[in-house]
Amino acid sequence: MSAFPLLTVTAALPAVGAVLTAALPAATDARRRDRNKAIPLAFAAGVLVLACVVAARFQPGSAPFQLTEHQSWIPAFGIGYSLGVDGIATVLILLTAVLVPIVMLASWHDADPVADDTGTFERSRRTQGFFALILAVEAMVVLSFEATDVFLFYVFFEAMLIPMYFLIGGFGDRTAGEDAKQRSYAAVKFLLYNLLGGLVMLAAVIGLYTITHTFDLPTITGQLASGKLHFSGIAENALFLGFMFAFAVKAPLWPLHTWLPNAMGESTAGVAVLITAVVDKVGTFAMLRFCLQLFPDASKTFAPAIMVLSVIGIVYGALLAVGQKDIKRLVAYASLSHFGFIILGIFALTTQGQSGAALYMVNHGVSTAAWLLVAGFLMSRRGSRLIADYGGVQKTAPILAGTFLVGGLAILSLPGLGPFVSEFLVLVGTFTRNPALGIAATTGIVLAALYTLLLYQRTMTGPVKPGNEAVRDLRARELVVVAPLLALLLALGVYPKPIADIVNPSVRHTLSQVHQTDPAPAHPVTTALGGNQ
What pLDDT digit, counting tens, does each position of 416-443 carry?
Answer: 998 999 999 999 999 988 899 999 999 9
Q: How confident is the model at residue 42 (pLDDT cuts 50, 70, 90)?
A: very high
What is the number of alpha carbons within 13 Å of residue 243 lying toward its C-beta?
30
| Side-chain half-sphere exposure of 342, counting CA atoms within 13 A | 32
What average pLDDT score do residues 483-509 get? 92
Residue 364's SS3 state is helix
Is residue 260 predicted with pLDDT exceeding 80? yes
**pTM attached to this predicted model:** 0.91
What is the per-residue pLDDT for 1?
55
pLDDT at 359 over 60: yes
CA angle 394, 396, 401 (to 5 degrees): 30
Confidence class for position 117, pLDDT limits 50, 70, 90: very low
118 pLDDT band, cuts 50/70/90, is very low
* N-to-C CA span, the chain: 44
Distance CA 36, CA 48 (A): 20
Pick the closest to residue 102 from 531, 451, 486, 378 (CA basis): 486
Asked if the model's pLDDT at residue 228 lies above 50, the reply is yes
Give the mean model confidence (pLDDT) for residues 80-90. Answer: 92
CA 330 to chain centre: 17
Mean pLDDT of the chain: 87
Residue 208 pLDDT more than 60? yes
Asked if pLDDT for residue 17 goes beyond 90, the answer is yes
Distances (CA, A) of 115 to 36, 120, 128, 269: 20, 5, 18, 21
Whether 288 shows a pLDDT value over 80: the answer reads yes
3-state secondary structure of 341: helix
pLDDT for position 529? 39
Backbone angles phi, psi at 70, to 5 degrees: -150, 130
Find all residues with CB under 8 Å of 66, minimum gap 6, and list them.
57, 58, 59, 84, 85, 86
What was the pLDDT predicted at 37? Answer: 85
Q: Give tens-digit pLDDT for 177-207.
A: 455 678 788 889 999 999 999 999 999 999 9
Distance CA 339, CA 316 (A): 12
Q: Where are the domains of the chain?
A: 298-521
Which residue in 225, 499, 518 sits closest to 351, CA to CA?
A: 518
Neighbours of 429 (CB within 10 A): 25
Does residue 221 surpass a pLDDT of 70? yes
Distance, in Å, from the CA atom of 468 to the CA atom of 397, rounded to the nearest integer, reads: 10
Q: Confidence band (pLDDT; 50, 70, 90) for 522?
A: low
**Residue 302: helix, strand or coil by DSSP?**
helix
Least confident residue range of 118-132, 212-226, 238-252: 118-132
> Contact, 87 vs 58, CB < 8 A?
yes
